[in-house]
Structure 1
């Protein structure tokens, strides 16, 4: 993947995110499943995120995405969860009876950074080499 740029940053980040509906209810089916996925992609376009892959199962979602470094991981998850919840409850009010408490999503989430060509070992060696020498090696 080519490096991405903003006015003040050059970045190559990729994250695997997973979270579940409240109480891990199997509510992400049929039309709801389809709409959740559509909303994720629309939000991504609006906020400058890039979804590489997105799968919505009955009781959890997986998203592989990249986003500009001005956003924290928790902010991105919050944006995706809050907007989808608001719109899904508006479009499918019947699911509220399965999710007492008025929340679509569980509070927590799983996140893992995903490497491309630069592995943890490469970064470790880069840092070690940097500390041995005052010379500034270039990574890009």
Structure 2
């Protein structure tokens, strides 16, 4: 996931909180967090979910819960982003047990920014 606004960096105290929230979400829904990478411009993770889990559902829940928490605890982001959704539209869900390469992540970010009309 990437922030809707490219200058909304995931750095400082938000990284620790986002880590906690991601763990909390996984525990709450019975998913298992295998890996988590939070960088200034994106978040990616590997988690195990039941075979019958719908990727759209777990992405929707993750996006919703983290957006609510970010706007609640970091109002500076909410002041500029009136959509109620911290994250940029779109998701990239890959099967496997490894984080994506930096090249793959950068391609996803570029594609998303183009769809937003920002690249």
TM-score, normalization by structure 1: 0.64
Q: 1:64 and 1:93, CA in 2 relative to 1: closer, same or farther beyond 3 A? A: same
Instruction: Report the Cα distance in structure 2 between the residues aligned to 1:32 and 1:63, rounded to whole angstroms.
Output: 16
Q: 1:77 and 1:97, CA in 2 relative to 1: closer, same or farther beyond 3 A? A: same
Residue 52 of structure 1 is matched in structure 2 by 34
TM superposition shift of 1:27: 2.2
Instruction: Report the Cα distance in structure 2 between the residues aligned to 1:71 and 1:86, rounded to whole angstroms.
Output: 23
2:6–2:41 Cα contact (<8 Å) kept: yes
Report the secondary structure of 1:61's partner residue.
strand
TM superposition shift of 1:61: 0.5
Residue 92 of structure 2 is matched in structure 1 by 110
2:64–2:85 Cα contact (<8 Å) kept: no
Q: Where in structure 1 are there 5+ consecutive unaligned residues?
A: 1-18, 117-140
Residue 34 of structure 1 is matched in structure 2 by 16
Give the RMSD, CA atoms, in angstroms. Answer: 1.8
Instruction: Report the Cα distance in structure 2 between the residues aligned to 1:99 and 1:27, rounded to whole angstroms.
Output: 13
Instruction: Report the Cα distance in structure 1 between the residues aligned to 2:80 and 2:18, rounded to whole angstroms.
Output: 17
2:66 pairs with 1:84 = yes
Instruction: Report the Cα distance in structure 2 between the residues aligned to 1:27 and 1:39, rounded to whole angstroms.
Output: 17
Structure with the largest fraction of strand? 1
Instruction: Report the Cα distance in structure 2 between the residues aligned to 1:81 and 1:46, rounded to whole angstroms.
Output: 15
